[in-house]
Amino acid sequence: MNHGSKLRQIWCQLKLNPFFAPEVTGFVVLTALLPWIGISLWYGFVLLWAVLWATLEHMAKREWPRSRVRLLTPNFFAVKDLAGVWRIFQRVPTRLVSCRQMAKELLEDQRRLSEALTPGRYYTLTHETILSRLRGMDKVNVTFCREAYVATMEDTVLRIMRGHCKHCTEQCPFLGRSKSRTFYEVRFEIR
């Protein structure tokens, strides 16, 4: 993966964060208020603002607050942003399972997708396999789809297997993980 693609991947992950837009908006407002509040008070406000949003972002990825989190499948959850859009994230497993079991669970999650998505608006980063499943579902209306970046599945597999792959001696069940894939930024609605 080239350097530009890595930067695009980071940018897309930031946009997926449900708290990114309010955080940036707050920084813009605080910067506009700088001449009226003074530099020393401004530093304090910016620091508090950054701590608040960093805490919220950290907690959202840990599936909190529960009122804004919806469990979709054992490996995926959604966090509702301030605009009412559900942002879908992949869970990092809390327990270490075998590679074969994890690959099997992820395939089952693809089949559970149609039942897991309830009516509402969604936003996610995904690859062609899931995108084609979404487009094939009757109740799904894809409102926006754009190529986000090109990457291998290597980082994703290492994250969900929590580094276990480095010590694994079995044949890898995640076929094609070193092959480049296009990831898409997708917004869709469930009717």
pLDDT above 60 (res 152): yes
CB 109 within 8 A of CB 73: yes
- Residue pLDDT, tens place only, 25-45: 888 888 888 888 888 888 888
- The reported pLDDT for the residue numbered 46 is 85
Token reading at 136: 């094939």
2: pLDDT confidence band, cut at 50, 70 and 90? low
- Residue pLDDT, tens place only, 79-106: 888 888 999 988 877 777 778 888 888 8
Of residues 167 and 190, the one with the higher pLDDT is 190
Q: Is the dihedral of CA 45, 62, 131, 150 positive or negative?
A: positive
- The reported pLDDT for the residue numbered 1 is 46
State the average pLDDT for the chain.
83
pLDDT above 90 (res 186): yes
Q: Is the dihedral of CA 61, 67, 72, 73 positive or negative?
A: positive
Q: Is cis: bond before 74, omega within 30 of 0?
A: no
> pLDDT > 70: what percent of the chain?
94
- The reported pLDDT for the residue numbered 68 is 83
